[in-house]
Amino acid sequence: MPEAAASARVGFVGLGNMGWPMAHLLAPHFELTVLDARTDVAESFAAEHGVAATTDPAEVGAAADAVITMLPNGDDVRAVALGGEDGGGLVAGMAAGSVLIDMSSSAPLGTRQLADDLQPHGVALVDAPVSGGVAGARAGSLAIMVGGAPGEVERCRPVLEPLGKAIYVMGGSGTGHAMKALNNYCSAAGLAAACEALLVGDRVGLDPAQMIDVLNASSGRNAATEGKVAQEILNRNFGLGFTVGLMAKDVGIAAGIAEGLGLEAPILAQTRDLWREAEALLGGGADSTAVVRLWEEWNGRELGAGPE
């Protein structure tokens, strides 16, 4: 990226729930080129923001000093970055000295492999996954967890700054992605614990809405009790914008890290299994807050039904 980073050209791949509001925040600061598998989405973004859209990853690479990927998982990032057997990925267009910033929640081992595979092309990889959800993406208040070579990470800062309230440099390649998976394990377990407590409390005669007030004033509070239960679950809105499939993927990555290291992590393994079951029951596209339906299904009662 040039020294005058504010004038840098940025490519953005993946304009979904997170990517669209993130690219929206970058558009005023950078010369943007966008791409999404849903070409109509990329075209509407481009028309709305007066930026370029293309269907060819190599064109995004050629038009950018830094390319951001915000895709479902690391396999998607790898496919877009390296292209197929005939080539044609981002790397076919990216100049030596440019950088790929993977802001997706990818698996760290795959990230390290991709960094190695990009190296011969002179393209650096920085992992910079985020937390804070769609609301954080809209507000530019995401927590960003960054891994990569220190010089490369510093070069990326001007591109990351409009997106996040806090940028945490975790260490070498893949460490941002490891941190993100472990964060989402805590988030997934916290949401599951809140659902379970609500179902049990409801059955014993406690009012779920009052339970949330008490939890939030007490030591049982977590991100789910504070930001998901009243907002998305009790009203059965189920519209957080983060899917069961993505949560299952993230907890699976975290459990895979523990297993790869031969560590005993029973709550992590159980949380992974629970979210897999949720994915099987609800479908990967269901909102993660609909996970409460698992307990409802197991117990044959909807939350709010009260004592028998």
Interacting residues toward ligand NAD by CB under 6 A: 13-19, 35-38, 41, 70-73, 76, 79-80, 104-105, 130-131, 133-134, 241-242, 246, 250
Q: Which of 165, 180, 228, 249 is catalytic?
A: 180
Using CA atoms, how far apart are residues 252 and 248, in angstroms rounded to an integer? 6
In sequence order, which residues have a C-beta less than 8 Å from that of residue 202 and are 6 or more positions away? 208, 301, 303, 304, 305, 306, 307
Residues 260, 262, 268, 270, Cα dihedral to 10°:
100
Six-digit token string for 122: 């002179």
Q: How far is the CB of 60 from ligand NAD (least distance, A)?
A: 10
Using CA atoms, how far apart are residues 102 and 127, in angstroms rounded to an integer? 5
In sequence order, which residues have a C-beta less than 8 Å from that of residue 92 and are 6 or more positions away? 57, 58, 61, 83
Given the complex with ligand NAD, which of 97 and 285 has the nearer CB atom? Answer: 285
Find residue 169's DSSP bridge partners: 146
Q: How far is the CB of 171 from ligand NAD (least distance, A)?
A: 20
Using CA atoms, how far apart are residues 69 and 12, in angstroms rounded to an integer? 6
Given the complex with ligand NAD, which of 246 and 282 has the nearer CB atom? Answer: 246
3-state helix, strand, coil split of the chain in percent (to 5) is 55, 15, 30
Using CA atoms, how far apart are residues 245 and 300, in angstroms rounded to an integer? 24
Q: How far is the CB of 129 from ligand NAD (least distance, A)?
A: 6
Given the complex with ligand NAD, which of 223 and 234 has the nearer CB atom? Answer: 223
Q: How far is the CB of 306 from ligand NAD (least distance, A)?
A: 32
Concerning whether 180 is annotated as a catalytic residue, the answer is yes
The one-character DSSP state at 95 is P
Q: How far is the CB of 152 from ligand NAD (least distance, A)?
A: 21
Given the complex with ligand NAD, which of 240 and 303 has the nearer CB atom? Answer: 240
The per-residue DSSP string of 40-81 comes to HHHHHHHHHHT-EE-S-HHHHHHT-SEEEE--SSHHHHHHHH
Given the complex with ligand NAD, which of 220 and 241 has the nearer CB atom? Answer: 241
99: part of which helix (H) or strand (E)? strand 99-102
Phi, psi of 233 (to 5 degrees): -100, -50
Instruction: Give me the residue whose beta carbon is nearest to ligand NAD.
Output: 16
Q: How far is the CB of 107 from ligand NAD (least distance, A)?
A: 10
Given the complex with ligand NAD, which of 134 and 206 has the nearer CB atom? Answer: 134
List the catalytic residues: 180
